[in-house]
Amino acid sequence: MKILHTADIHLREYDDERWVTLKELIEIGKKEKIELFIISGDLFDKGINAENLKPKIRDIFSNSGFKIILIPGNHDKDSYKSGMYFGEVKILSDLNSPFDEFKDVRIWGLPFEPIKGEDIFNKLQLLKDNISPDKKNILLYHGELLDAFFSRKDFGDEGEERYMPVKLSYFKDLNIDYILAGHFHKNFNVWVLKNGGFFVYPGSPVSITKREVGQRKINIFELGKSPKEYVLDTPHYEGVDIKFDPFTDKEPLEIVKECFINLQKNAKAILTVRGFVNSEDIGISEEELVKQIKKISSGKSDEEHYEFRDIRIILKDDLFKNFIEKLKYTDYEEEKKKQMREIAIKAMMETKL
């Protein structure tokens, strides 16, 4: 059995980037011939989004050729009221009522609730007598793994509150083969459980905030095998950090052009330009250089930070020129020489600029 696992799509509007991403995931599921499509919470950003998008969700979740199962997350915990129809999808809102339609796997859902760790631990212990040893057991979970070293920012715009916190030790005595989790947006992460099973965060399949940097991923794997990241071609942010160095032969604008040529087509750059330039050598001022960079990045960047400095005055200074000449004939590695040049430039800037 092949399974696709994702989470934290945070749908808001029909046909926006997040909606198009969901459609892409459905198509990937068809192409990969999966049997099970799992969304581990926060399909919707808010309850009102679920209500508005419900007719369209019915269409996209129908006639896919595979089973779709989801659990409520902290953002859409109130979206799935009894009797509401979202199409051919199974919503696991009760830990005691697993999905049991496959002969070789049983799927349990631990949806988001505003409860503390000890309460979650007690809930999980109730599974001991119900988990079937003759099947693969999958638990869907939406919350925060305390064993992981995450920044609070890695969960999107969630503030400082703890969300359904668990530890890997909570699952030690349970015969769970896969914990397919949601809530952590930033990266694809896997932990191995004591019993040989896996705890997996796939990360958001589309950038929800500017913190989700880099190509997004989902988890596609064969039942009984390790989780496997699947790289997506969906909208995302990409950090582009450029550092100018007047001691190299590369022209600043050529460096910028190369970076944007190599930018993945669905990426929006968060651009930072650092370092130093010699405006006399390149023949344009700081102001004109920024204008030219903005032309190159137009339509391809979402945020820009210009931190570079023109050091033409320092480069003409006799003391600095003597230092550079002596540094040239030392036995230091090139990286060490570069560091020493930067220290000297910053020291001269304190007195010259």
User: What's the pLDDT at 352?
Assistant: 64
Nearest partner of 313 among 246, 255, 254, judged by Cα: 246
What is this structure's pTM? Answer: 0.88
pLDDT digit string, tens, across residues 38-87: 999 999 999 899 989 999 999 999 989 999 999 999 999 989 887 788 88
- Determine the Cα–Cα distance for residues 43 and 92; give it in Å rounded to an integer: 13
Q: How far is residue 220's CA from residue 137's CA, in Å, rounded to a whole number? A: 17
Q: Is residue 161 predicted with pLDDT exceeding 70?
A: no
- pLDDT average, residue stretch 101-122: 91
Mean pLDDT of 128-154: 82
> Measured between alpha carbons, how far is 109 from 353 in angstroms, rounded to an integer?
62
The model's pLDDT over 318-327, given as tens digits with 9 standing for 90+, comes to: 999 999 999 9
pLDDT band at 116 (very low <50, low <70, confident <90, very high): confident
Average pLDDT, integer, range 237-256? 95
Please give the domain boundaries of the chain with CATH numbers for all domains. Answer: 2-231 (3.60.21.10), 236-352 (no CATH)
The single-letter code of the amino acid at 175 is N
User: Rounded mean pLDDT of the chain?
Assistant: 92
140 membership: H or E segment, kind and range: strand 136-142
Distance CA 279, CA 293 (A): 15
Least confident of 112-126, 237-251, 256-270: 112-126
Which pLDDT score is estimated for 127? 87
Which tokens go with 112? 């988001």
Question: Distance between CA atoms of 276 and 245, rounded to whole angstroms?
Answer: 6
Which two structure tokens, joined as six digits, stand for 133? 């040893």
pLDDT at 155 over 60: no
